[in-house]
Amino acid sequence: TAADLGPYRHYMQKEIFEQPRAIGDTLLDVETVGPELFGAEGADVFGDIDSVLILACGTSYYAGLTSKYWIEAIAQVPVAVEIASEYRYRTSVPNPRTLVVTISQSGETADTLAALKHAQKQGMKQTLTICNVATSAMVRECKLAFLTRAGVEIGVASTKAFTTQLVGLFLLAMTLAKTKGRLPEEQEADLIRSLRHLPVAIQAVLALEPQIISWAEEFVRKEDALFLGRGMHYPIALEGALKLKEISYIHAEAYPAGELKHGPLALVTDQMPVITVAPQDALLKKLQSNMQEVRARGGQLYVFADAGSNIRSEPGVHVIRMPEHYGWLSPILHVVPMQLLAYHTACARGTDVDKPRNLAKSVTVE
Ligand code: G6P
């Protein structure tokens, strides 16, 4: 009802603005990391595993992709991320020492549940879910669970569930690192501090809404959009493109920026907005030369750049300035403007934002 919505026009907008609260709640009891965060059998499971296999669908799959960058870099444990509906039907090589991680907002997605059962049937017994619903089938079926505390998510396009999943997955990366002896106490304390500061940092990103609305007004007339990112922000570009197509019905695709020259550059004209996730990280120089490739073809760049970066607005280059670079957790900040851009573009196009055509909140049939 309108009363639940408070000052917001749609549940999706409300849920985007609830993210500081949702992340704060998800971290409520987290002082340090360790296997016990994931359940009573955590210590047994974490002691025994040598790799991670992540299974999920949709936005949850992109959370998984982001975490691969974290887990491999911080814990040095190999990670495979698979779309559940593919994994369940292909012949793969089972490894009993793999930790199988399902990610699901609802905990009821049919393909993700079937992929989990497929893994179990092949002898993979170490299972963990990152899930938003404590009473779900997924939580029942997995040995371990980390519950995100996003609260009920009503908008079909997932927002607060995604960022809280990322928080759970970052805790998983830290825990794996700790159990492998790769997380010095000082670094653990630093990372926990950064996690706990996220609600404040996200608040600063939410304050960019008016600038994002002005971009959304330009996007109304577009039929295609390209999203670019690199490294751990490539999955954020994927999520940005998914959000835009789901609710605004603008065709959108995402590319890792270094791959531009192998195809999508052929699509770039002065009609093509190219949304670029441009954090102030080690890949920024590389990304800037990719942006140059777009500019040389007349493409219109819409760039989310961190404070302090040397990216400037100029003809054909529109810049929104994010807060300072947020290190490993930067993807959690950079996805927020993607959500807002999709949301306001959809509003400007007059679509049914909370219930986009042909889509369901929870896909419980194959
Ligand atoms: C549907 C929803 C998406 C969600 C996906 C996976 O497609 O519209 O928002 O990401 O299912 O759902 P799950 O509940 O497993 O995370």
pLDDT digits (tens, 9 = 90+) for 69-106: 999 999 999 999 999 999 999 999 999 999 999 999 99
What pLDDT band is residue 199 in, cutting at 50, 70 and 90? very high
Q: Show Cβ contacts of residue 135 under 8 Å, excluding neighbours closer than 6 positions.
A: none
Cut 0.90: pTM above it: yes
**Angle at the Cα of 168 from the Cα atoms of 165 and 174, rounded to 5 degrees:** 140
0.95 surpassed by complex ipTM: yes
Could you give the CA distance from residue 255 to residue 335 in angstroms, rounded to a whole number?
15
With 0-12 / 13-18 / 19 or more C-beta atoms within 10 angstroms meaning exposed / middle / buried, residue 276 is: buried
Percentage of the chain modeled with pLDDT above 90: 98
Say how many Å lie between the CA of residue 25 and the centre of ligand 1.
21
Using DSSP's 3-state secondary structure scheme, residue 258 falls into helix
**Is 361 tagged catalytic?**
yes
> Could you report the per-residue pLDDT of 129-161, keeping only the tens digit for each?
999 999 999 999 999 999 999 999 999 999 999
Other CB atoms within a 10 A radius of the CB of residue 43 amount to: 14
Contact between 343 and 353 under an 8 Å Cβ cutoff? The reply is yes
Does the C-beta of 364 come closer than 6 Å to ligand 1?
Answer: no
Q: Please choose, from the candidates 240, 247, 213, the residue with its C-alpha nearest in 3D space to the C-alpha of residue 225.
A: 240
Q: Which residue, judged by its Cα, is nearest atom 7 of ligand 1?
A: 58
Could you give the CA distance from residue 147 to residue 154 in angstroms, rounded to a whole number?
18
